[in-house]
Amino acid sequence: MTNTAHAHDGRSPRLLIVGPQGSGKGTQAARIGEIFGIPAISTGDVFREHIKGETDLGLQVKAVIENGDLVSDELTFEVLRDRLNQGDTGHGFLLDGFPRNLAQVSLLDGFLVPRDEAIDAVIVLDVARTVSIDRLTRRAFEQGRTDDTEEVIANRLSIYERETEPILDVYRERGIVDLIDGVGSLDAVTDRIVAALEARGIARVAAA
């Protein structure tokens, strides 16, 4: 049965990609952005660009991070809103790393609703906790990141489960969550995501 309440109107999509650390979210975000012709916007990358460019927002973020504090939801959104107001997002975007919690869902809604816009689909990469820990410990070993112990990684995953997973209930109520098996080759996972989006009537960019 087609969910006509969320049938796509043919324009470029506004997407979220969500998943625990080690789910391959960043890699898949870049691939999906390219396939559907929309910018993949990583909160972490946007932070780094502002810090490197020494913008007002970047200096605020840098000060918070250097104090060892977490960047507030409001400041995170200020940085993101600046990015969403750039010209290349007018025809859609894919957000990676935002919203991370229920407060950020409200901030994003508060930005989109007055513009008569909405998120079209939320891609959730489903990866078992054991798989995430295995991938992250292997990556830490390969990159010589000795501070990324199994305990630290498990704690990060607990934060994801406690703070980020609840946002999925909000989006499930809106009928826009696509749960994707995140285990397998990069190509296999990408194919699953593309198939789910196309089933919603979201069309990929035609090859030149």
192 is catalytic: no
Q: Which of 62, 81, 129, 156 is catalytic?
A: 156
Q: Taking 70 as the threshold, does the pLDDT of residue 5 lie above it? A: no
Q: Which of 48, 145, 162, 174 is catalytic?
A: 145
First to last CA, the chain: 33
Sequence spans of domains, the chain: 11-42+93-199
Q: Which of 25, 83, 135, 192 is catalytic?
A: 25
25 is catalytic: yes
Which of the four pLDDT bands, split at 50, 70 and 90, describes residue 9? low
139 is catalytic: yes
172 is catalytic: no
Cα→Cα distances 29→26, 144, 148, 191, Å: 5, 25, 23, 13
| DSSP-assigned letters across all residues of 175-199 | T-EEEEE--S-HHHHHHHHHHHHHH
Position 165 scores a pLDDT of: 95
Position 148 scores a pLDDT of: 82
pLDDT tens track for 106-125:
999 999 999 999 999 999 99
Beta-ladder partners of 123: 17, 178
How does the average pLDDT of the chain come out, rounded? 91
Strands 121-126 and 177-181: parallel
Give mean pLDDT, residues 31-58: 95
pLDDT tens track for 131-142:
999 999 999 999
Considering the domain 11-42+93-199 in this protein, what is its CATH number? Answer: 3.40.50.300
Percent of the chain past pLDDT 90, that is, above it, reads 81
